[in-house]
């Protein structure tokens, strides 16, 4: 594998991991710590997790939702991916701004990646941009592209009947289009 291909692959995976509020794995596949809760003074405990419900129709498995969302990002299907962004972050970032941001940032381009789900577990998570703490399902996955593998964790929650994901930093895409 050429040095340019390795550099492109590593850069692509790093961008993908930052897109999904992941901690960013090291090149050796070790996961960085994620899901740490901000100090109570920095967040607002939500008595109800907003539009998140547990009485929604069956959204399917969190593993299937994670694979689908990573595949959509890899293929550059930004409109479809935006449809599953958490509603509280959709209030911060319009679909047009998100699509323009994703294209400008160079997210995507790894449609041939393999995704393996390593573990799922419940975890409290502070939603970036709104500082609301909510129960989520943490999903640790390994993404393999061009012979390189990276392990990381993303958080999903059922909202409005489907599994929703979070932008790591919604302010990156908070611009008028």
Provide the pLDDT for residue 177: 52
**3-state helix, strand and coil shares in percent for the chain, rounded to the nearest 5:** 30, 25, 40
| CATH number, residue 63 | 3.10.450
Name which residue leads in pLDDT, 3 or 77: 77
Q: Is residue 152 part of a domain?
A: yes
Q: Is residue 64 part of a domain?
A: yes
Residue 73 burial (CB < 10 Å; 0-12/13-18/19+)? buried
Q: Is residue 76 part of a domain?
A: yes
Q: Is residue 149 part of a domain?
A: yes
Q: Which structural domain range is residue 141 located in?
A: 3-21+59-166
- Please state the domain count of the chain: 1
Q: Is residue 89 part of a domain?
A: yes
| CA 58 vs CA 21, 50, 53, 70, 79: distances in Å | 24, 19, 11, 20, 23
* pLDDT bracket for residue 57 (50, 70, 90): low
Of the candidates 31, 60, 34, the residue with the CA atom closest to the CA atom of residue 128: 34
Q: Is residue 39 part of a domain?
A: no
Of 3-7, 61-65, 121-125, 140-144, minimum mean pLDDT range: 3-7
* pLDDT bracket for residue 10 (50, 70, 90): very low
pTM of the predicted model as reported, rounded to 2 decimal places: 0.71
Q: Are 152 and 32 in contact (CB under 8 A)?
A: yes
Q: Is residue 40 part of a domain?
A: no
Q: Is residue 31 part of a domain?
A: no
Residue 57 burial (CB < 10 Å; 0-12/13-18/19+)? exposed
Name which residue leads in pLDDT, 135 or 38: 135
């Amino acid at each position: 594998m050429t040095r340019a291909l390795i550099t492109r692959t590593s850069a692509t995976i790093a961008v993908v991991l930052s897109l999904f509020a992941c901690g960013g794995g090291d090149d050796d596949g070790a996961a960085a710590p994620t899901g740490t809760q901000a100090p109570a003074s920095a967040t607002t405990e939500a008595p109800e997790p907003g539009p998140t419900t547990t009485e929604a129709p069956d959204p399917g498995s969190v593993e299937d939702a994670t694979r689908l969302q990573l595949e959509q990002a890899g293929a550059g299907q930004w409109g479809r991916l935006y449809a599953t962004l958490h509603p509280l972050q959709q209030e911060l970032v319009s679909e047009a701004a998100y699509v323009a941001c994703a294209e400008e940032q160079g997210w995507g381009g790894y449609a041939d990646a393999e995704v393996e789900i390593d573990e799922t577990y419940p975890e409290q998570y502070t939603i970036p941009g709104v500082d609301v703490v909510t129960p989520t399902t943490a999903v640790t996955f390994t993404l393999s592209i061009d012979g390189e593998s990276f392990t990381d964790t993303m958080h999903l929650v059922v909202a409005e009947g489907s599994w929703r994901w979070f932008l790591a930093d919604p302010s990156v895409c908070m611009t008028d289009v």
